[in-house]
Each structure stands twice: as structure tokens, then as C-alpha cells.
Amino acid sequence: MVEQKKDAVDVIEDQWRRERPDLDVEAMAILGRLGRLLTVGTEKIESVFAAHGLQRGEFDVLAALRRSGEPYELSPSALADALMMSRAGMTSRLDRLERAGLVRRTADPEDRRSIRIAFTGEGRRLIDTVVTEHVENETRILSVLSPADRRALDRITRRLLAHLDD
């Protein structure tokens, strides 16, 4: 087994063990590393979006539309529900995407009082490019792990999330 280099969390863990040897700080260390992983990982992931002039939330909207399948149209409410966000928050994202020429609002043919959100040609081309780069980037991020390690990490994080979601 390869010895791991000490990280900033090890330093904090050692300080707590010195100052409060009565505390078991293993959980603090694990969750501290997960928090750091979230921070650093988010920066790496969002750099792909930023390279294409997108914020994370805008990517999420375009990705939800792309995943929805033909005809790649959803109501603003369906998009908000899919992304677990407020209707007001969705409206501001849609406004930005529409100003950028990536989506368009159209009347719902079945209910003229409602609207549908659809890609523009540019929006469809952009999401296909960005999602490809995004998947490649995430694969690079996890490339330090063996396939067995990735499966174990997936299993462990699923179990932890299931516990916390209860």
C-alpha cells in the first residue's frame, strides 16, 4: 500500500487529538475531506462551463432540456421541478439563456396561456459540446481511482446519501 501524504485535514485532526484526546475525530476528518473535495471538485467542474460562457445553473437548464428527449421542450415549471428549484429562480435563468440566444420561449400549442422552453440551434450545439467536455473532465477527475475504487466510492456515497436523505 502506498503511504498517503499528509494533508490539511490531517493537521487539523492531529491538533484536535493533541488538544482533545477524548474526542474521536475520525468522522470530522472524513467529512472535512468530503467538503474539501466538493469545493475543489466544483471549481474543476465549473471551469468547463465557464470556458463556454455558462454558469452552472445555466448548464443545468440546458442539460435538463437535452435529457428530456425529442422535441427538447419543457415548461418552465417542469424545468424548475427537474432541477429542484423555485419558479422565480428558473425565470431568471431562462431570461439569461434567452438573452444569450440559447433558448426560446414559445406558446404551448395545447394551452396558449402557457409557454414552452426550447433550444435554439446554437443552444443545442452548445450543450452537446459542453456535456461532452463535462463528461471527459469528470472522467479525468476520477482517473486517479481504479475501476474498483470508483465502484466502492459510488456504493459508499449512495449509502451515506440514502441515510442523510431519510
Cis ω for the linkage preceding 21 (within 30 of 0): no
**CA dist., res. 105 & res. 111, Å (int):** 14
58 and 45 in a common domain: no
Q: What is the pLDDT tens value at each position of the chain, 166 positions in all?
A: 567 888 999 999 999 999 999 999 999 999 999 999 999 999 999 999 999 999 999 999 999 999 999 999 999 999 999 999 998 889 999 999 999 999 999 987 777 778 999 999 999 999 999 999 999 999 999 999 999 999 999 999 999 999 999 8
- Counted domains in the chain: 2
* DSSP state letter for 20: -
In a domain, 129, yes or no: yes
76 and 4 in a common domain: no
124 and 60 in a common domain: yes
* Secondary structure (DSSP) of 32-95: HHHHHHHHHHHHHHHHHHHHTT--HHHHHHHHHHHHT-TT-EE-HHHHHHHTT--HHHHHHHHH
Q: Count other Cβ atoms within 10 Å, centred on residue 141.
A: 14
119 and 47 in a common domain: no
Structural domain that includes position 28? 1-51
Are residues 91 and 49 in contact, defined by beta-carbon separation less than 8 angstroms?
no
Cα 87 to Cα 51, 84, 128: the distances in Å are 27, 10, 25
**CA dist., res. 95 & res. 83, Å (int):** 16
12 and 76 in a common domain: no
In a domain, 22, yes or no: yes
112 and 66 in a common domain: yes
**The Cα angle at residue 77 between residues 76 and 78, in degrees rounded to 5:** 90
In a domain, 111, yes or no: yes
pTM: 0.86
In a domain, 161, yes or no: no
Q: What is the CATH number of the domain that holds 71?
A: 1.10.10.10
91 and 36 in a common domain: no
Q: Count other Cβ atoms within 10 Å, centred on residue 48.
A: 19
84 and 108 in a common domain: yes
